[in-house]
Amino acid sequence: MKIGMVLYPTFGGSGVVATELGKALAKKGHEIHFITYAQPVRLGNFIDNTYYHEVSLSDYPLFDYQPYEIQLSSKIVDVVKHEKLDLLHVHYAIPHASAAYMAQQILKSQGVEIPFITTLHGTDITLVGKDPSFEPVITFCINESTAVTAVSESLKQSTYEHFNTKRAIKVIPNFAPPIAKQMEAECQRLKYAMGNERILCHISNFRPVKRVEDVVKIFYLVNQKIPSKLLLVGDGPDRFMAERICRELGIEKRVIFTGKIVGTEKVLEICDTFLLPSETESFGLAALEAMAAGVPVISSNTGGVPEVNLDGFSGFTSNVGAVEEMAENAIKILDSDENLAKFKKNAKEQASKFELEKILPMYEQLYQEVIAK
Ligand code: GMT
């Protein structure tokens, strides 16, 4: 199949899923055309069957705001026509679904039919989408998409709660991209922690929804009982606040801010526990990636996270803001080598339910269905 993949190119989960999905489909022989405004961070080098079409933005002085959606629609029209695509798969509703709809209508006026699938990822529904200023467009696009998928059962239910739609939404969970085994993990680990220290980790875009302050407080409590280090990976609006709190709590020498990293599997390989205390999380791809690397997860029990992290098995889940309970749970995992080994094994076992080989055929089947419609 020839598939147009419309996505955000950044570190956000939706872009990661779209890129990894495209790469996996390309490996199976499908032709994948990524359409976005910058090189997707996970795309990497020259990969067979993948093509990247950059949407260039106009900086004409009349525009206070660049009309990205219009330029994206035009690019989609061009790519569909000239590359003879079979379907579009757009990740994150805003503005990708409305751009796809507009492109579809333009193409229809020129005698070209193109179906489009919208995958809802989370904040497009739970935070941004239900903002009244977006709601009518999102509702319309959900209703007009040839097919709609959501990354968890929880996100599907939230969509029905917040939007005026009865249309079928298929749950296709995210998958853990395959990870190449690192050979020097033990050496690498010693660069960050002494032999007797545990390493905790958090990876995110440091937005308020991630509750990075809770991450630091959980670590502060754990570190009082168990010698440890915290790796904070990523960057965003709450990084400065997190750095300040670390200094106030006197743990700044025990917390390492790495900034943004492309190959996070290298970090995960040296970690013992992953912290994800988010306010809301439709799925928690970062937690799944941690579990796939054998890292147990301490998370909130919000949104789709309990579908991924099994309480008491692959880690623990708690109510949002229950910092002390989350710290106690982390200590339960970290206080003996036996417990840690058990949870690491369980984390991998739970992650295997979301292996790429299990999820990919669900998308391929859906693609066949929408093309046949
Ligand atoms: O979490 C973010 O801020 C990024 C956001 C995105 O759209 O890229 O992530 C969302 O999509 C991911 C991939 O499906 C999910 O794993 C995340 O849980 C979801 N984030 C939220 O719901 C807050």
Domain map (residue ranges) of the chain: 2-175+355-372, 185-354
Least confident interval from 131-145, 326-340, 344-358:
131-145
Specify burial of residue 267 (Cβ count, 10 A radius: 0-12, 13-18, 19+). buried
Same fold, 2-175+355-372 and 185-354: yes
Pocket of ligand 1 (CB under 6 A): 12-15, 17, 92, 121-123, 126, 151, 174, 205, 207, 209, 280-285
User: For ligand 1, atom 12, which residue shows the shortest CA distance?
Assistant: 13
Question: Which of 154, 283, 297, 309 is the pocket-test mutation for ligand 1 (most atoms within 8 Å of CB)?
Answer: 283
pLDDT in the model for residue 182: 62
d(CA 261, CA 270): 15
Superfamily designation of domain 2-175+355-372: Glycogen Phosphorylase B; (3.40.50.2000)
Token couple for 124: 């497009």
d(CA 27, CA 68): 30
Rounded average pLDDT over 182-204: 84
The CA dihedral of 262, 264, 266, 269, to the nearest 10 degrees, is 180
18: Cα within 13 Å, side-chain hemisphere: 36
Locate the ligand 1 atom nearest the alpha carbon of residue 174 and give its number.
14
pLDDT in the model for residue 123: 83
Rounded average pLDDT over 216-239: 97
Conformational region of residue 259, where left means phi above 0, alpha means psi within -120 to 50, and beta covers everything else: left
Locate the ligand 1 atom nearest the alpha carbon of residue 286 and give its number.
16
Residue 84 has pLDDT above 80, yes or no: yes
Please answer whether residues 290 and 201 qualify as being in contact, where contact means their C-beta atoms are separated by less than 8 angstroms: yes
User: For ligand 1, atom 9, which residue shows the shortest CA distance?
Assistant: 13
pLDDT in the model for residue 267: 92
Top-confidence residue, 327 or 188:
327
**How far is ligand 1, taken at its centre, from the CA of residue 41, in Å?**
16
The CATH number, out of the four listed (3.40.30.10, 3.40.50.2000, 2.60.120.200, 1.20.1090.10), of the domain defined by the range 185-354: 3.40.50.2000
